[in-house]
């Protein structure tokens, strides 16, 4: 059986998060399905045109397609968390004080925002269920 791609609607809610890793500044935007789960990600790095910016765009495209074909966020987090390459170092996020790379930071941010049930309920992008 082949997986079916579930694209997001043309107009959707999203979450945008500003981050700094070392001296690199960027923005992570997460496009959300109607139920509040991630369906796409975009990373905008301040150093436009840099090799890292291009690699981030390629990663985001592949990651977004994987989500749309059904890859659970938890599985993606397992695979990308801990990847180490430049830039890495201290961040401006108290929940993620150090990052091993931009990919590690994104995975850890997604884990906190979408995989941690204790935080999920209080976020404006989450959808209440009958169990809450």
Spatial contact of 112 and 94, defined as CB atoms under 8 Å apart: no
- For residue 128, being part of any structural domain is answered with no
Kindly state whether residue 101 falls inside one of the protein's structural domains. yes
pTM of the entire predicted model:
0.85
pLDDT along the chain (132 residues), means of 10: 90 96 94 96 84 90 96 95 94 97 96 82 41 36
Is residue 29 domain-resident?
Answer: yes
pLDDT of 119? 61
Q: Would 127 be classed as within a structural domain?
A: no
Number of structural domains (the chain) is 1
Neighbouring residues of 51: CB distance < 8 A, sequence distance ≥ 6: none
The predicted pLDDT at position 49 comes to 66
* Within-domain flag for 63: yes
Classify residue 67: in a domain, yes or no. Answer: yes
Residue 64 lies in a domain: yes
Within a domain: 33? yes
Cα atoms found within 13 Å of the Cα of residue 46, Cβ hemisphere only: 10
CB–CB of 39/67 below 8 Å? Answer: yes
| CA angle, residues 37, 116, 57, in degrees to nearest 5 | 50
Alpha carbons 90 and 99: distance in angstroms, whole number: 6
Q: What domain range includes position 86?
A: 14-118
Residues in the chain: 132
State the Cα–Cα distance between residues 112 and 120, nearest whole angstrom.
8
């Amino acid at each position: 059986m082949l997986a079916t791609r579930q694209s997001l609607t043309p107009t959707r809610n999203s979450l945008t998060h500003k981050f700094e890793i070392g001296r690199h500044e960027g923005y992570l935007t997460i496009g959300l399905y109607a139920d509040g789960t991630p369906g796409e990600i975009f990373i905008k790095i301040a150093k436009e045109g840099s090799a890292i910016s291009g690699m981030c765009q390629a990663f985001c495209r592949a990651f977004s397609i994987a989500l749309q074909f059904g890859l659970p966020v938890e599985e993606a987090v397992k695979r990308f968390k801990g990847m180490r390459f430049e830039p890495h170092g201290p961040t401006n996020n108290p929940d993620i004080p150090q990052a091993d790379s931009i990919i590690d930071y994104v995975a850890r941010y997604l884990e906190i925002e979408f995989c941690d049930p204790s935080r999920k309920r209080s976020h404006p992008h989450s959808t209440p269920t009958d169990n809450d």
